[in-house]
A and B are shown apart, each in its own frame.
Chain A
C-alpha cells in the first residue's frame, strides 16, 4: 500500500480495493515503526487521522468524494492546523495550538483528505538542512547520516521514506525544491500568489509560497488542484484562475523550447551531478524538446539579494512573537523590555536570531537605501533576466542544487556555505516564478534533482514536462533501503 502513488491510492479507494481507514492506518503504523530513523514528523495524532479517514470513507460511500478524499497527507508544521500544535520547528511555538486552519489546510479538509501529521522543518523555515529545528534534525532516508535538505526536510523525508504518500511544503528560497532533490522526490513551488499564504506562519512575505511534495509529478498535480485557488483573505493571492493541472500532463514535448542557463552549469557544480542533469536534458531532447543555451546574467546576485530581502521581511514578520498573546513566554519577566528580549532570546534559535539581526540592520536608518532598496532594485534585474529568456523559451532547466545531500553537521557552523546550497533556487523566488525539482539520477547513492523553472502561472507546463520525463525514466520510483525495513 505504502508504495502506491497518490493517483494509485485514489483509484484504489474509488474501486473499494481498500478504505481510507486502511490506508491511513498503514501509514500511521509505518510512522510509528520507522520514523525514529528520520525524525520527519513533529506531531502525529492517530485518533484524529483515523476519525478523518472514517469520515472520508463515508464520503466515498455516499458519492460526495472529491479527488483527494481519503488520501492521507502530511503537512509541514508551518501550516496552522485548528486544534493541532503548529510549532514551525521552534521553541517559540512549541505550545502553540492555533484555533484556526490555514487556507491550504481548510482546502484539503474540505476535499476530504486526511491530515496525517505535521512534519519537521528548519525553525521558521530558515535553513537548508533541517538542522535548525527545535525538535532535532530530520534525516535523509537515503542515508540517515545525510541531511534531508530544508527547510521542508521533514516533508521530503516522510515522502521519500514512504511514511506519507504526499506532503505539503513551503518554499521561500528553495525550501521545497532543495529537500525534494536531496531526498529523491518531486516537489513544486508554484508561482508567487498561486497558493494562499493565509495561515502559513510567515517567513518572508514577498517570497513565501506553499506547494506539493510527492513522488511523482502527477501526484503533485493532484495536490496542486486542491491547493491552488484565489483567496480573498490574502491580498497577494492571485486572481488568475487555477487550472486542472492533471489535464495536460500527457501532452507531448514536441517543439518545447528548454532554456539552459550557462550560469547554472559552470565551475562549482558537482561534476557527477552535472552529468545527471545533462542526461536528463538529453532525455527531454529525445522527446522532441529543443535545448536553447541562454544566460541569466544577474544570477550571481541572487544570494546577496535574497539574504537582504528575506531577513528584512523576516525581522518584522517575527516581531509578533513577543510572549504576550500566544507561544513561549520567558519566566518572571522583570519589565516589558525584559519580557520581549528574554522571550525572544530563549524562544528563537541561533539562525533565526541571526537573520532577524541582519534584517533589522538592513532596514535600519542609514542602511535602508544601501541594502533593502538596492536589493529590491536588483531583484527587478533578476526578474528581467528571466523575462527576457522566456521570450525565447518555454521552460528553463538546470540542477536544483550544486551537489547531492551533505552530511549532518557538515555546514551547520558555517551559515554562508549553507546559504550557497540555494544558489540555483533563490532567483526563482525573487522573480516569483514557479519551479520544481524532480529526481534525475544518483551520485554515490544520493539522489540528484533536476530543476525546471516556468513562466508565471506556468505550473501546468512544468508538471507536463516533469510527467513526460517520469514516464520515460524511473528515478522517482527508487526506494531507499531504510524505507523497506518494517514494510507493512
Chain B
C-alpha cells in the first residue's frame, strides 16, 4: 500500500520578553535553578497573575505577520493537570478564545515549488518548569526558572505531507518570528519547540487516520528523523493489519526512535474553564493598526523583492531572505559593489562558507558587508582576479586589513598590461610548439578545449596575476 503522511505541527515559541508572562521574574536562559522563580511562579498561596503587555504585543505582531484574524477579545483559561513542573496544578493558556485566529503562510521547497500551510490558531500561555532526572537519591529535581516564560503556541492545520515540508515550514516559521523580533528562535535553548501530530492514510483517501503526537522535537534534523521513524512505525503496523493507538510519544534522539510516554498514560481531562484570576483581554483596532504599521518587511516580501529588484533566482532570494541580518548584509554588499548577482554568489559562497566553518554568526562576522562589497568591486574593475579575491577575502577574515591593503601587500594586483602579457604569451607558445601544432590542426570544437592549456600556462608563469580576459584575447590573435 502507498501511504500518505498527514502532519500537523504545534510549535511552542518562547517570546523574547524581559519578564515572564504573569510575573516580574526574569526570563534569562541558563540561570542557576530556581533563582528566577518568584512567589507567583512557585504558585505560593495567594499569588496572582498579571498579564505582560509585551506578550500580547508580540502575539498580535505574529498574527499580523501571517495575515491572521486578531481577536479583539481573548480569554485565558486554566488547563488542569498535576505535574511537578506545573506548580499551580494548572497551566494558564487560551482555549476557547485564542488571541490569534486562522491565518496561513507560504513555504518554498528545494525544488522551487511552493505550498501554503494553514495556521489554525496561535494562543498565549505560560511555559512549565523543567524536571531534571539526574539521580538525586532516586528523585527528580524540579527547576521552575522556565515556569511562566511566555509561550505562543502556533498550531498548524494538518496540511503538511512530508518531513521535508515539515522542516521547510519550521524554517519559514523560524525566519518569520526572528524577523518580527518576537523570539530569539534559539532551538538549542528551547526557544522554539515542536510537537508533531502524524497519521497515515492510503494515497487518495480523504479520511484522516488515527494520529500520534510526538512531543518536544527540538531541532530541524530531529523533526525530520522523528517523522521518518514514526512513518515507518505506523506503516508497519498498518501493513500488518494493525491499528494505530492515539497516544503521546516521545522522540529519543539518542536511539532515534519514538516511544510511548508513560507519564501521559492516565487519560487526561483538562477541565478547561476561564481563568478567574485574569479578565478578558480586550484590544482595539487602533492598537492592532499601530502594530501593523510597525511591521518590518517580512521574509516572503523580501524574497520576491530580491527576485524583482536584483534579478536573483528564487533559490538565491530565498536563502538570502531567510534571516534579517543576512538579507541586510547582502543588500549592503550589492549596493557597494553594484552587481547583485556576484554579491549573491559571494555572500552565499564565501561568506556563509566561512561562517559555517567558523561556527559564527553574522553579528560577529569579521568582514563587514561594506568591506566585502569593496572587495567585489575590485574584481569588477579588474584590480584583482576572482581567484585571487578569494585569498584576499581569507586574509580579510583573518584581520589583515581591507581589500586594497591586502592586494597591495601581497602583490595580488592583476596584470592587464598587454605588453607584459604579450611577452609571456610568446614564451608559452614557443616553449610548446607541439601543442601549438596540435591546436592548428584541430577543428573549432577541439580548439576551444586546447586553448585552456595555453591560458593555464600563461597564468602559471604570471603567478596568477595576468588578467584572464587579456590573455584570452592575445592567444586568440596569436593562434589565428
Contacts and interface: CB of A to CB of B under 8 A. Distances in A.
A contacts B: CB pair < 8 Å = yes
Interface of A: 79-80, 86, 88, 93, 96, 98-100, 102, 197-202, 204-206, 232-236, 312-313, 316, 319-320, 322, 324-326, 336, 340, 360, 363-365, 368, 372
Contacts, number: 93
Contacts of A235: 48-51, 277-279
Contacts of A324: 84, 87, 142
A312 B273 contact: yes
Contact of A360 (B49, B50, B271): B271
Contacts of B142: 324
A313 B273 CA distance: 9
Interface in B19-70: 39, 42-51
28 contacts: A80-B46, A88-B45, A96-B45, A98-B44, A98-B45, A98-B46, A99-B39, A198-B46, A198-B47, A201-B45, A202-B277, A204-B276, A234-B48, A235-B50, A235-B277, A236-B279, A316-B80, A316-B271, A319-B80, A322-B82, A324-B87, A324-B142, A325-B44, A325-B87, A340-B82, A363-B273, A364-B269, A365-B269
Interface of B is mostly: loop
Contacts of B386: none
Interface of A is mostly: loop
A368 B87 contact: no
B46 A319 contact: no
B82 A319 contact: yes
A322 B42 CA distance: 12
Given A232-B50, A236-B277, A368-B273, A326 B84 contact: no
Nearest to A376: B274
Contacts of B89: 316, 319-320, 322
B225 interface: no
B48 A233 contact: yes
A197 B78 contact: no
A197 B272 CA distance: 23
Contacts of A234: 48, 50
Contact of A201 (B46, B271, B273): B46
Which interface residue of B89, B276, B277, B279 has the most chain A CB atoms within 10 A?
A: B276
Contact of B276 (A313, A336, A364): A313
A88 B269 CA distance: 29
The 8 closest A-B pairs by CB, nearest first: A319-B89, A205-B276, A363-B271, A206-B276, A199-B46, A320-B43, A201-B45, A365-B269
Contacts of B49: 235
A10 to B, nearest CB: 29
A156 B272 CA distance: 37
Contacts of B271: 316, 360, 363-365, 368
Contact of B44 (A79, A326, A340, A372): A326
B305 interface: no
Contacts of A197: 46, 48
Nearest to A324: B84
A171 to B, nearest CB: 16
Nearest to B51: A235
B228 interface: no
Nearest to B78: A316
Contacts of B78: 316
Contacts of A312: 273
B297 to A, nearest CB: 36
Given A235-B278, A313-B276, A360-B271, A320 B87 contact: yes
Contacts of B45: 80, 86, 88, 93, 96, 98, 201-202, 320, 326
A204 B89 CA distance: 15
A319 B48 CA distance: 14
A223 to B, nearest CB: 19
Given A202-B46, A205-B276, A316-B90, 4 more contacts: A233-B48, A235-B48, A316-B78, A364-B271
Nearest to B49: A235
A313 B46 CA distance: 14
A364 B142 CA distance: 28
Nearest to B80: A316
Given A319-B89, A363-B80, A372-B273, A325 B43 contact: yes
